[in-house]
Amino acid sequence: MPNEMKIYTRTGDRGKTALIGGTRVPKYHDRIEAYGTVDELNAFVGLIRDHHETDPQSREMLTEIQDRLFTLESHLAEDKETAVAKPMPPLRDSDVQLLENEIDRMNVSLPPLANFILPGGSILVSYCHLARTVCRRAERISVKLSEHYPVDNIDLRYLNRLSDYFFVLARYLGQLVGAEEIVWKARY
């Protein structure tokens, strides 16, 4: 199979890897940390999507999110100074708007939030909270990266809104599966 993509290349055996464009950087480079964290998030999204209690509409939305996360990863991995291939696919304002629309759709069926709630209540809800926290970490790393390398503002906006989406998704799926929301009661 001549077009088969090899999983191993042996080029990273000495602790370096290539950005899109060919620039080699250490595997601990901020760019690698950023897109690696988005990749970790993408794996959690797949876990939520594939969970048997996830409803079909959320499952479809999560597949769309995974596609956008691959796009975001490509942006973070691209060295714009050396990349000569065709440009990476863009994220658009409509991608952020889709997240906001989904947040609004789910919020309609949820009771108002008057207190902080503890993550948990069911395995599925906990997965959503894990995705939310990994998303926040990806956002922090990407914001830090933007201080030294170009990061599109739309990418940062998408990550910010996506973490909000996962919080509301946790509540929404929790309601669907009958999970109790446990209110945080500060101890004084």
CB 59 within 8 A of CB 49: yes
Task: Report domain extents, the chain.
Answer: 16-183
CB 139 within 8 A of CB 45: no
DSSP 147-187: TTS---HHHHHHHHHHHHHHHHHHHHHHHHHTPPPEEP---
Average pLDDT of span 42-63: 97
At residue 12, the pLDDT reads 57
Task: Say yes or no to pLDDT of 39 above 60.
Answer: yes
Give the integer Cα–Cα distance in Å for 133 and 45: 12
CATH topology of domain 16-183: Hypothetical Protein Ta1238; Chain: A; (1.20.1200)
pLDDT tens-place string over residues 16-31: 767 666 677 666 678 8
Say whether 3 sits in a helix, a strand or coil: coil
| Bridge partner residues of 26 (DSSP) | 16
Give the integer Cα–Cα distance in Å for 6 and 19: 17
Beta strands in 23-172 (DSSP E): 24-26, 117-118
pLDDT tens-place string over residues 62-103: 999 999 999 999 888 877 666 666 678 899 999 999 999 999
Global pTM exceeds 0.95: no
Say whether 41 sits in a helix, a strand or coil: helix
Mean pLDDT of the chain: 89
